[in-house]
Amino acid sequence: MNALIDTINRLINRPHPFAVYFYPGEREPEIILQQTSDIHKLICFNDLNNNKGFVFAPFFISDHYPLIIIDPDIHLKGSQAITGLRNRFPPDKLLRTEHTKMANCDIIKSDYLQSLNKLIDQINAGKVDKVIISRTISANISEGHTIGDLFMKLKESVDSAFVYLVSLPGIGMWMGGTPELLLAKTNGVYQTVSLAGTVLVNEENHEIEWSSGMKREQQIVTDFIANNLRLFQIENYSQSGPFTEYAGNVAHLKTTFEFSGNKIDEQLIPFIAAIHPGPAICGFPKETAKNYILNNEKHQREYYCGFLGNWKMGDELRLFVNIRCMKILDNRAVIYVGGGITSSSVPESEWYETEHKAKCLLSVIRNN
Q: Is residue 321 one of the residues assigned to a domain?
A: yes
Instruction: Identify whether 181 is part of a domain.
Output: yes
Q: Is residue 333 part of a domain?
A: yes
C-alpha span between 122 and 220 (Å, rounded): 18
Q: Give the C-alpha separation, 299 to 155, whole Å.
A: 28
Report which of 323, 288, 352, 367 is spatially closest to residue 127, judged by C-alpha positions.
Answer: 288
- Give the model confidence (pLDDT) of 252-309 as tens digits: 899 999 998 888 898 999 999 999 999 999 999 999 999 999 999 999 999 999 999 9
Residue 342 lies in a domain: yes
97 is a domain residue: no
Q: How many CA atoms lie within 13 A of 100 on its CB side?
A: 18
- CA separation for the pair 111, 108 (Å, rounded): 6
Backbone angles phi, psi at 190, to 5 degrees: -95, 150
Taking a C-beta distance cutoff of 8 angstroms, is the pair 4, 78 a contact? no
Q: Which of 113, 180, 105 is nearest to 353 (CA)?
A: 113
By the 8 A CB rule, do 96 and 14 touch?
A: yes
Q: Is the Cα dihedral 186, 40, 178, 365 positive or negative?
A: positive
pLDDT, residue 258, reads 96
Q: How many domains is the chain partitioned into structurally?
A: 1
Instruction: Find the domain containing 145 and state its range.
Output: 2-87+107-365
Q: What is the pTM of this model?
A: 0.93
- Residue 38 phi/psi, 5-degree rounding, is -65, 135
User: Is residue 75 a part of any domain in this protein?
Assistant: yes
**Beta-carbon-side half-sphere exposure of residue 162 (alpha carbons within 13 Å):** 20
Instruction: Cite the DSSP H helix spans in 197-285.
Output: 212-231, 268-275
Residue 70 counted as domain residue: yes
Q: What CA dihedral angle connects 59, 311, 238 and 285, to 10 degrees?
A: 20
Q: What is the pLDDT of residue 94?
A: 54
**Domain at 277, CATH number:** 3.60.120.10
Q: pLDDT for 203-236, tens place per residue? A: 555 678 888 888 888 898 999 999 999 999 998 8
Contacts of 62 (CB under 8 A, 6+ apart): none
pLDDT value, residue 367: 72
Say how far apart CA 284 and CA 287 lie, in whole Å.
8
- Tell me the C-alpha distance between 22 and 216, whole Å: 32
Angstrom distance (rounded) from CA 217 to CA 221: 7
Does some domain include residue 93?
no
Query: What is the Cα Rg of the chain in Å?
Result: 20
Query: Cα(72)–Cα(131) distance, rounded to whole angstroms?
Result: 36
Identify the segments of the chain with pLDDT beneath 50: 99
